[in-house]
Amino acid sequence: MPANLPVSGPAHQTTPHHVPRNVATALAVIMMLLALIGAGASLANLSWTERYWLYLVPVFGLICTIAAWFHTRSFDRTVLRQILHWLAVGVVIAVDYRYLSRSGEQTSGATGLSSLLILALGCLLAGIHLEWTFALVGLLLMMTAIIVAVAQEYMALVLLIGLALIAVILVAYYLKRKWTA
């Protein structure tokens, strides 16, 4: 074997761990339930709804960072990227609230919807880069924003779709466990 080729073998291979399916499923279901609480609050037109979406940023960030840690079992680039990802989402939402809403450039309702869309994008990208079930949360949040903006009378549909997505995740988890056992 030539001296300039890398040595391969068990001692030199680093394989990332995968997020245990039960952990990934639980985290995605928690995120979906939190999103459904927000959807229900939006449907009821509660005064704290806009802030609720803002408070979900650190919660979702923590959930995704936990998933990243389970993926690598160390504080590495994957974990650091999730922390930076969610800090960026939080900063953009804070700028939206602080400068665009307070400057009068957009209404409070518009700020809430744009924050919800930013949160949806954060979840969707976390799903693309980390755990596919988080993308479903992003899609649910995006549908929530669209329905709140266009036709709030269909918010109950978001709740039903969210419950259906939770059921799909749980059935997929069950079937995968059954087939791999």
> Domains of the chain: which residue ranges?
21-180
Give the Cα separation of 56 and 116 in Å (integer): 10
The yes-or-no verdict on residue 76 having pLDDT over 60 is yes
Name every residue whose Cβ is closer than 8 Å to that of residue 172 and which is 6 or more positions away in sequence.
none
Name the residue with higher pLDDT: 147 or 106: 147
**pLDDT tens column, 105-133:** 666 667 777 888 999 999 999 999 998 88
User: 5 falls in which pLDDT band (50, 70, 90)?
Assistant: very low
Amino acid in position 109: G
**pLDDT tens column, 12-46:** 344 455 666 678 888 988 998 898 888 777 667 67
Long-range contact list for 174-181, CB < 8 A, 24+ apart? Answer: 176/21, 177/21
Of the candidates 122, 147, 116, the one whose C-alpha atom is nearest the C-alpha of residue 134 is 122
**pLDDT tens column, 154-173:** 767 777 888 888 888 888 88
Cα-Cα end-to-end distance for the chain: 41
Give the Cα separation of 133 and 78 in Å (integer): 17
Q: What are phi and psi of 173, to 5 degrees?
A: -60, -45
